[in-house]
Amino acid sequence: MSQTSEDTYSRNEDDLKVYTPEDVTSREEDVIRRIETNTGVQSLVHSVGSGIVELGPLEEPYDVQRVETHPDPNTTYHEADEWKYPIDKETQMRIVHWVEGDKQNPKNFGSARKWVITLVLGFICFIVAFGSAVVTGDMAGPSKYFGVSEEVYILAAVTVFVLGFGFGPLVFAPFSEELGRQPVYLVTLGVALVFIIPCAVAKNIGTMIVCRLIDGIAFSAPMCLIGGSLADIWDSRERGKAMAVFSAAPFLGPAVGPVFGGLIGDYGSTWRWIYWTFLICGGFGYIILAIFVPETHHQTLLRRRAKKLRKLTGDDSYRALSELKIRTVKEKVNDSLLRPFILLTELIVFLVTMYMAVIYGLLYMFFFAYPVVYMEGKGWSASMTGVMFLPIAGGCVVATLFAPLINKDYIRKAQPYVDRGELPPPELRLRPMLVACWFVPAGLFAFAWSSYPHISWAGPAFSGFGCGIGFLSLYNPANNYIVDSYQHYAASALAAKTFVRSIWGACVPLFTMQMYHRLGDQWATSLMAFIALACCLIPYAFYIWGAKVREFSRYAYTDQK
């Protein structure tokens, strides 16, 4: 080992001696005192300025690279040497972190293992989204059984489920930071699967409402945690393809769901098999998740290592960085509940959130517009109507395939800034939206004016292909723009978007069929097309004036902040 300053890297006799119980007790008391008083942690834990104190401590940015060096630069890392952490000058503690070549660091997993984890998590996300839409394949059967209108069944099966998507992330995200991602995945998915069973055997509409709401809240956990899991295992330069898989799932699931729901409704023995099918798919996902997806949350793994080292060495000064952050779960939950609503007052967050809510609402609008156009207008069966959703799925797949090319274009445009040691402006993320935004209103207008009963089925069906391309091509850049614009508060900004998007997605099914019956198929769809057309101004406005808007923001990133 190379010789360095004695108070940092040198392993003197005190480092190796066997501690007596009195020594350990004294040391524990000293560590506890330092943690309770937050002594010497100022350089390790970010604090906010007085001007933004209401937001609480800064969140960790999504793409910040920590420079980590081995305690002894002249040696290579071995698992047996994991206790070799130096004494930190300020805290007088051994800060446990990843070292070069650390096999336990999820970012050092092999490529094959990373892709297995990514595909399993993508499948889970697909199943959750699938469950929100598969129930729309047969609304007549359960409505008749419960003795309620289709509108009431829509409220029970779709609205409350999607509503749960908005509330769950506000709670599950801070719990995953404290407990790790894997326990939250397994517990919430387990609860969700259990509550599918009462839906499948429900005797009254009240049971359906309560259990679907619980399912929506529980199933929201993977939807909000998977992005973090992928960030745990993939380097920011490699993450593009993995995130494309994850981003496609919330759109592919709802597009495929009505196909299976319609087939079960037409050819199955009972509508209850819709829920049994959902349970079987979810159960399979739970099994492969438990087998193939380990804990990946970095600070959770480092806390486990620090605990292990304290036990092995009798030295209580081993601490993960997160153990020095004096914030309780209650404080984290309070922050996660308040921050998103504070950030909704930001112009960028508000307008981008409204745009994404419109897009998300359009996807759920189709679940009820298609039955009006095809089942009522053309006299088709539920199963044939469900097949008409496949072009939307096809558009999502095409957009996913183009995602790597879009990422390469971004890297090419961002490289000059990187070469100068600058962060690329967030507005570069908006370039794909400048093109993709037109696909949605174009697809909606095509759907509107080709939906007459006497016109071929192909017109409204293939208009969904353009919408599918637009949905996914808008979703990814919008998320990236929010993350880059609100780096330290990105998680809360995205939570705000998810909350509003889910609320709107839950409301749309309640009025879609009535809107189509009153306005007619053509003008009902055209109304939504005009709204989507107006939203096209948003990416152009921020592409031109986004930097100016950020300069006047209290929380957004600028070159001066």
Per-residue pLDDT of the chain (561 residues; tens, 9 = 90+): 444 433 333 333 343 344 444 444 444 455 444 444 444 444 444 433 333 334 444 444 433 233 233 344 344 445 555 557 777 777 778 888 888 888 889 999 999 999 999 999 999 999 999 999 999 888 889 999 999 998 899 999 999 999 998 888 777 877 787 788 999 999 999 999 999 999 999 999 999 999 999 999 999 988 888 878 888 898 766 777 787 888 888 889 988 999 999 999 888 879 999 999 999 999 999 999 999 999 999 889 999 998 888 888 888 888 888 777 666 666 766 666 787 888 899 999 999 999 999 999 999 999 899 999 999 999 999 889 989 999 999 999 999 888 888 888 888 998 898 888 888 899 999 999 999 999 999 999 999 999 999 888 888 989 999 999 999 999 889 988 988 888 767 777 888 888 899 899 999 999 999 999 999 999 999 999 999 999 999 999 999 999 999 988 888 877 655
CATH code of the domain occupying 107-295: 1.20.1250.20
| Encoded tokens for 557 | 């990133």
pLDDT the model gives residue 50: 34
Whose tokens are 């006299």? That residue is 379
pLDDT the model gives residue 32: 47
Contact 445, 469 (CB under 8 A): no
Q: Which helix (H) or strand (E) holds 94?
A: strand 94-96
One fold for 107-295 and 331-561: yes
Class of domain 331-561: mainly alpha
* Angle at the Cα of 328 from the Cα atoms of 327 and 333, rounded to 5 degrees: 100
pLDDT the model gives residue 29: 52
Provide the residue ranges of all domains of the chain, joining segments of one domain with +: 107-295, 331-561
pLDDT the model gives residue 69: 34
Contact 473, 437 (CB under 8 A): no
Bridge partners of 191, per DSSP, are: none
3-state secondary structure 57-81: CCCCCCCCCCCCCCCCCCCCCCHHH
Instruction: Report the C-alpha gap between 270 and 343 in whole angstroms.
Output: 46
